[in-house]
Amino acid sequence: MALDNPQHPAFVQGSDLLEGALRFTGEAYRRGDSRGEAKLRHSTEVARLLHEAGFDEEVVAAGLLHDVVEATATELPEIAERFGARIAGLVEAMTEDDGIESYEPRKAEHRARIAAHSWPAAAIYAADKLAKMPGLRADPDSASEKQLAHYLGTLETLSSRHPDLPFLGDLERELAGVAVQRRDRTADHARPARAQ
């Protein structure tokens, strides 16, 4: 059994498609901004969740590539040429419409488009949100109210359209945990200090 390593996780080993998608994603992020390593870790976590849920290699590869078009100078034709039409279609579904400037309408359009696209696209989207939860749980105040509303909107949209989708139960529990943490912190700040 191969040891898992963040630079080359076990689930990609032995698959030309997954090894190529990981390499491509890493190179694209390294050419981007200083947050490339964090973005690569996130994309790898999304793909790991998809792999462990039993999705096929093309869906797992799309999980690795899901943010590349949105976060780097990479364009969809390059994804299609390198990885095929199905993977490019999933990456396209995962790419927000940058023509919609305002946060809430852009996120609402993206949620609706994902839900209507396909079950695999919805799974990648749900895994993307779930992969962000450890960071959010570590610092519940790092997300704005708009972001939390988007995550809750994602859960609602995907639950109504794809109720049997993996990750939804975990995402619901994680969001509930974040809500409790935020409520508790707010309550702690609202309590007057005790005299000593």
Domain boundaries, the chain: 11-95, 99-186
As a whole number, mean pLDDT of residues 162-170 equals 96
Q: Looking at the predicted structure, is the pLDDT value of residue 176 above 60?
A: yes
In this prediction, residue 2 carries a pLDDT of 39
The token pair that represents 25 in the structure block: 């994603």
Residues in the chain, overall count: 196
How far is 128 from 81, CA to CA, in rounded Å? 24
Cβ-contact 141, 182 below 8 angstroms: yes
pLDDT tens digits, one per residue of 22-60: 999 999 998 866 687 889 999 999 999 999 999 999 999
Cβ-contact 84, 38 below 8 angstroms: no
CATH 1.10.3210.10 corresponds to the domain 11-95: yes
Report phi then psi at 56, rounded to 5: -70, 165
Cβ-contact 64, 47 below 8 angstroms: yes
Lowest mean pLDDT among 33-37, 101-105, 136-140: 33-37
